Amino acid sequence: SQVYLNGAFMALEEARISPMDRGFLFADGIYEVVPAYNSVLFRFDEHLERLERSLREVEIRNPHDRQQWQVLCEELIERNGGGNLSVYLQITRGAATKRDHAFPEPPVAATVFMMTSPIAVPAADSPDTASGGKAITRDDTRWARCDIKSISLLPNSLLRQQAVSAGAMEAILLHDGFVTEGSASNVFIVHDGVIVTPPKNHAILGGITRDLIVELCGQHGLPFAEREITEAELRQADEIWITSSTREVVPITQLNEAAVGDGKPGAMWKTVARHYVDFKR
């Protein structure tokens, strides 16, 4: 496949970065994942706004303006044959001459890397035949700034592996007895007929898919509340969903060893999945 690295498009096999890159040494960088359907970028402004915010929070200068980012993404999509692809975009603080925790002085050029991956057919595309997945619960062992889309993903990676080892598709994380999010997704529940998701704060990534679902709930007058979710509410939920740019909105039908609701994708999920697909078109 074709990738973009520091000003040039090339075959993945040709791409090389320095072992002194601060992304490699310190996980000192941030990333975005932007889906494209039929080669058209989806919620691009929202993703770029979050990218700009992540860069600001870690004090990496944005190497491109929005127009330039869009041109790069579109060219990369085209060079990879187009269709339904997610664009991965990573920016690190760059390669310094020595390993020092503090930022390089004078500053070095940021490293910019972009690649694409095919998007699997999402569950929301076929609400009537979707089967749903399993999730496990785990303690949220991450840092205090999960709102930054940092490439420092070791805890997320360890937690996702625990899910996979347990035959699950996601680990739903609990901090002091409250749901934060999944290892790479946001979480919604349906409780007493109301769709609930935790508020955006430093404990979770402000998901673009999450925000769209919230918007769709408003547009279609679905009962919705943004508030903290206790572990007990999660366990008693009639429905649980996870959301992300690559999975859209997926029903969780088994939590640990227990069925969620009747163990099938719920009616509210089907409604939201249909609205999501209509919005995408």
Q: What are phi and psi of 14, to 5 degrees?
A: -85, -15
d(CA 268, CA 193): 8
Give the closest residue to 271 by CA, choosing from 175, 155, 193.
Answer: 193
Say which residues have a Cβ less than 8 Å from residue 55's Cβ, sequence separation at least 6: 30, 61, 62, 91
- As to burial, measured by CB atoms within 10 angstroms (0-12 exposed, 13-18 middle, 19+ buried), residue 201 is exposed
Least distance to ligand PDD, CB of residue 210, Å: 6
Whole-Å CA distances, 229 to 119, 225, 237: 30, 10, 10
Nearer residue to ligand PDD within complex by CB, 164 or 267: 164
Least distance to ligand PDD, CB of residue 258, Å: 24
Nearer residue to ligand PDD within complex by CB, 200 or 264: 200
Catalytic residue selected from 149, 200, 270, 280: 149
Nearer residue to ligand PDD within complex by CB, 4 or 31: 31
Signed CA dihedral, 100, 104, 105, 106: sign only: positive
Least distance to ligand PDD, CB of residue 108, Å: 26
Nearer residue to ligand PDD within complex by CB, 58 or 96: 58
Query: For this structure, is 149 an active site residue?
Result: yes
The three-point CA angle 1-63-72 to 5° equals 35
d(CA 153, CA 277): 30
d(CA 89, CA 210): 20
Least distance to ligand PDD, CB of residue 263, Å: 25
Nearer residue to ligand PDD within complex by CB, 197 or 244: 244
Q: Which residues bind ligand PDD (CB under 6 A)?
A: 33, 156, 181, 184-186, 205, 207-210, 243-246
| Identity of the residue numbered 90 | Q
Least distance to ligand PDD, CB of residue 89, Å: 11
Whole-Å CA distances, 14 to 89, 174, 216: 18, 41, 43
Give the closest residue to 189 by CA, choosing from 135, 130, 123, 109.
Answer: 135
Least distance to ligand PDD, CB of residue 145, Å: 12
Residues classed as catalytic: 149
